[in-house]
A and B are shown apart, each in its own frame.
Chain A
Amino acid sequence: MMSWRWIDLVPARLPGALAVAVARDARTGAAAGWLVAWEGRARPTPTALRIDARAIDPNGDAALVSLVLAPAGVSLPFDDLAVQQARRAVLARSTPAAVNSTLLRDSSRFMGALTAIRDVAGGLDDDPFARVFPARRLLVGAGLLGTMPAPAGPTIERYGSDQPWPWDRFRAS
Chain B
Amino acid sequence: MSTMVPKPSTTLAPASRFPDIELLDHAGNPRRLSQLVAGDPIVLQFFRGFWCPKEQAFFRRLVALQDEAEVAYSRIVSISVDAPRVNAAFRAGLGARWTFLSDPDRAVQAQLGLRESTDTLNDPYVPAVFTLHPDLTIHAAYDGYWFWGRPTLEELRRDMRAISRAIRPDWEAPAAGP
Contacts and interface: CB of A to CB of B under 8 A. Distances in A.
Interface of A: 88, 91-92, 94-96, 149-150, 152-157, 159, 168-170, 173
Contacts of B29: 96, 149-150
A95 B27 contact: yes
A149 B66 CA distance: 20
Interface string B24-42: 0111010100011111100
Contacts of A152: 35-38, 75, 77, 98-99
Given A150-B29, A155-B73, A157-B70, A92 B97 contact: yes
A150 B169 CA distance: 27
B27 A94 contact: yes
Contacts of A173: 169
A149 B97 contact: no
Contacts of B140: none
Interface stretch (B15-23, B53-61, B88-96, B151-159): B88-96
B152 to A, nearest CB: 19
B45 interface: no
Contact of B70 (A95, A155, A169): A155
A1 B169 CA distance: 19
A94 B40 CA distance: 23
A96 B26 CA distance: 10
A34 B98 CA distance: 35
B27 A154 contact: no
A156 B97 CA distance: 10
Nearest to A158: B73
Nearest to A152: B36
Contact of A149 (B31, B76, B77, B89): B31
B99 A92 contact: no
A131 to B, nearest CB: 17
